[in-house]
Amino acid sequence: MFGWRKQKRADKERALPEHIAIIMDGNGRYAKERNRPRINGHYEGMQNVKKITRHASDIGIKYLTLYAFSTENWSRPQNEISYLMKLPGDFLSTFLPELIEKNVRVLTIGSPEELPDYTVKTVSEAVEKTQDNTGLNLVFALNYGGRDELVQAIRSMSADAVAGAIDPEDISQGTIDQYLMTRNIPEPEMMIRTSGEYRLSNFLLWQSSYSELFFTDTFWPEFATEELDLMISQYQKRSRRFGGIDEEEV
Ligand code: V07
């Protein structure tokens, strides 16, 4: 390839990501380091969700997906689970007016059936009240698991196939996208995990196939907007490859 073309490409920065997904880990460890109860870490983590949401909205991110409660989290002590189930209500009672003012649309992915009624009720109220907003889409993964999502999608796809609504021969990647909980949400260009673990832990398995991964040792309650901005600028500098050639060259 000609040198001048390469140069041109190296200078080219990518646009702002449309969708950022975050595994908000390290709330318990944050509390432990300060000799506080674990639930205090969750409270501080919830406060940080407000800061990061505000910032994502201000800089023009279109989708922010946050792993708030995984299907594996049920194995935690009962008092911790009860506290976690009150956090959406706590968050929305203080923050919903600002979300509305900022034109943010609240969405959820996950299985609400197993969550307490009061949790489902407050969250669906926020979803309804913000459904026509056109700014940031704030997606909370609540009782979400990537493998469960695939099980649900395959069940419903099989039922449609048995009913004759779809032909198995016609199933494509796009068909699968349509059966996932994220059907109207673009794939995340960036996937962030805080607190020094290097795993996806069942979060957005299908959707993160091409996501740029970012890891930091920072505990979630301390993850600041400056660190997010640094990751975004790194993302914009990384060259994008889908198995061989630069995206710009295709
Ligand atoms: C939760 C705080 C963030 C750190 C990770 C675990 C604890 C915000 C919400 C939430 C969910 C839905 C909604 C509005 C807010 C939340 C849970 C846990 C279960 F509509 N933070 N947060 N939900 N944590």
User: Above 90 in pLDDT, residue 234?
Assistant: yes
As a whole number of angstroms, the distance between CA 247 and CA 240 comes to: 6
Domain contains 233: yes
For a mutational test of ligand 1's pocket, the pick from 23, 29, 39, 46, i.e. the residue with the most ligand atoms closer than 8 A to its C-beta, is 46
Tokens standing for 31? 């509390």
User: Which pLDDT band, with edges at 50, 70 and 90, does 238 fall under?
Assistant: confident
As a whole number of angstroms, the distance between CA 85 and CA 115 comes to: 8
Domain contains 179: no
Is 73 assigned a catalytic role?
A: yes
Following CA atoms 90, 117, 24, 175 in sequence, which dihedral angle do they give, to the nearest 10 degrees? -140
**Residue 40 sits in which domain range?**
17-145+190-238
Domain contains 70: yes
Model pLDDT, residue 250? 44
The stretch 26-32 carries a mean pLDDT of: 98
Cβ-based neighbours of 82, under 8 Å, separated by 6 or more: none
Rounded to two decimals, the pTM is 0.93
The stretch 149-154 carries a mean pLDDT of: 98
Model pLDDT, residue 136? 99
91 in ligand 1 pocket by Cβ < 6 Å? Answer: yes
* Number of domains within the chain: 1
Residue 224 is part of a domain; what is its CATH number? 3.40.1180.10
